[in-house]
A and B are shown apart, each in its own frame.
Chain A
Amino acid sequence: MKGPSEINTQLNLIIPGNKSNIEKTKKAAHFWHIFGMVISYAFLVVAAIIVLFPFYYMVMASFMAEVDVDNGRLIPITGNFFENIVYNYTQTLSQFNYGRYVGNTLIVAITTTLLQVIVTILSAYAFARLEFRGRDILFTIFLATMMIPGEMMVLTNYITMSNLGLTGRDQTQIQAYLAMILPFISSVFYIFLLRQNFKQIPNELYLAARVDGKSDWQYLWKVMVPLATPTLITITILSIIGSWNAYVWPNIVTSTAANRENLWTISVAIRNVNLAVLEHEVWVPQDSWLMCASVLTVVPLLVLFIVFRKYIMSGTGRAGIKG
Chain B
Amino acid sequence: MNKSRNYRAWLYLAPVLILMGVFTFFPLINTIVISFLRDYNVTTGANKGFTFFNYGVVLGILEKNEGSGFTDNSFISWNSPSALSNTLLITFVTVPISIIISLVIAIEINNIKVLKKFFQTVFFMPYVTNIIAVGLVFSVMFSDGGIFNRLFKLMFNSSISISEGSTSWGASMLVLCLYVIWTALPYKILIFLSGLQGIDKQYYQAAKIDGASRFKTSLRVTIPLLSPQILYITITSFIGAFKEYNAVIGLFNRSYTKDQNVHDLYTVVYYIYDKINGASFATEMQYASAAAVILFVIIMIFTLVQMRVSKKMVVY
Contact = CB atoms under 8 A, between A and B. Distances in A.
Interface string B27-69: 1101110100000001100000000000000000000000000
28 contacts: A6-B202, A13-B211, A40-B111, A47-B108, A54-B137, A57-B140, A61-B140, A72-B149, A119-B16, A131-B6, A149-B292, A151-B243, A151-B292, A152-B292, A153-B23, A160-B27, A182-B23, A186-B16, A191-B16, A248-B246, A248-B273, A287-B140, A293-B133, A298-B129, A301-B128, A313-B120, A313-B190, A316-B190
B119 A247 contact: no
Contacts of B253: 271
A222 B8 CA distance: 18
Interface stretch (A16-24, A78-86, A227-235, A302-310): A302-310
B226 to A, nearest CB: 15
Interface string A142-153: 100101111111
Nearest to B269: A151
B281 to A, nearest CB: 7
B225 to A, nearest CB: 13
Interface stretch (B73-81, B168-176, B193-201, B256-264): B193-201
Contacts of B119: 44, 48
Interface stretch (A120-128, A200-208, A276-284): A120-128
B220 to A, nearest CB: 17
A27 interface: no
Contacts of A7: 202, 205
Number of chain B interface residues as a range = 35 or more
Contacts of B281: 158, 162, 256
Given A155-B292, A252-B273, A255-B278, A312 B128 contact: yes
A247 B134 CA distance: 13
A157 interface: yes
Interface in A132-187: 132-133, 135, 138, 142, 145, 147-160, 162-163, 182-183, 185-186
Interface in B233-277: 236, 239-240, 242-243, 245-246, 249-250, 253, 269, 272-273, 276-277
Interface in B80-138: 104-105, 108-109, 111-112, 115, 119-134, 136-138
A244 B133 CA distance: 11
Nearest to A186: B19
Interface string A206-230: 0000000000100000000000000
A40 B112 contact: yes
B5 A130 contact: yes
A70 B20 contact: no
B42 A159 contact: yes
Given A54-B138, A72-B147, A309-B121, A151 B295 contact: yes
A122 B12 contact: yes
B191 interface: yes
A158 to B, nearest CB: 6
B130 A54 contact: no
A74 B123 CA distance: 22
A183 B23 contact: yes
B20 A186 contact: yes
A196 to B, nearest CB: 15
Given A43-B108, A248-B246, A256-B281, 12 more contacts: A41-B112, A48-B119, A51-B125, A123-B12, A126-B12, A155-B272, A185-B15, A255-B277, A287-B140, A294-B133, A298-B129, A322-B187
B230 interface: no
A133 B27 contact: no
Contacts of A321: 236, 239-240
B185 interface: yes
A159 B134 CA distance: 31
Nearest to B281: A158
Contact of A297 (B10, B130, B194, B295): B130
B276 A252 contact: yes
Interface of A: 1-3, 5-7, 11, 13, 36-37, 40-41, 43-44, 47-48, 51-52, 54-55, 57-58, 61, 69-74, 118-120, 122-123, 125-126, 130-133, 135, 138, 142, 145, 147-160, 162-163, 182-183, 185-186, 188, 191, 216, 241, 244-245, 247-248, 252, 255-256, 266-267, 270-271, 287, 290-291, 293-294, 297-298, 301-302, 304-305, 309, 312-313, 316-317, 319, 321-322
A52 B281 CA distance: 40
A74 B193 CA distance: 33
Nearest to B107: A40
Contacts of A309: 121
Nearest to B299: A149
A298 B130 contact: yes
A309 B124 CA distance: 9
Given A125-B12, A130-B9, A54 B182 contact: yes
A131 B24 contact: no
Given A153-B31, A321-B236, A145 B136 contact: no
A216 B5 contact: yes
B128 A156 contact: no
B288 interface: yes
Contacts of A270: 130, 132-133, 136
B24 A145 contact: yes
Contacts of A186: 15-16, 19-20, 23-24
Nearest to B203: A3
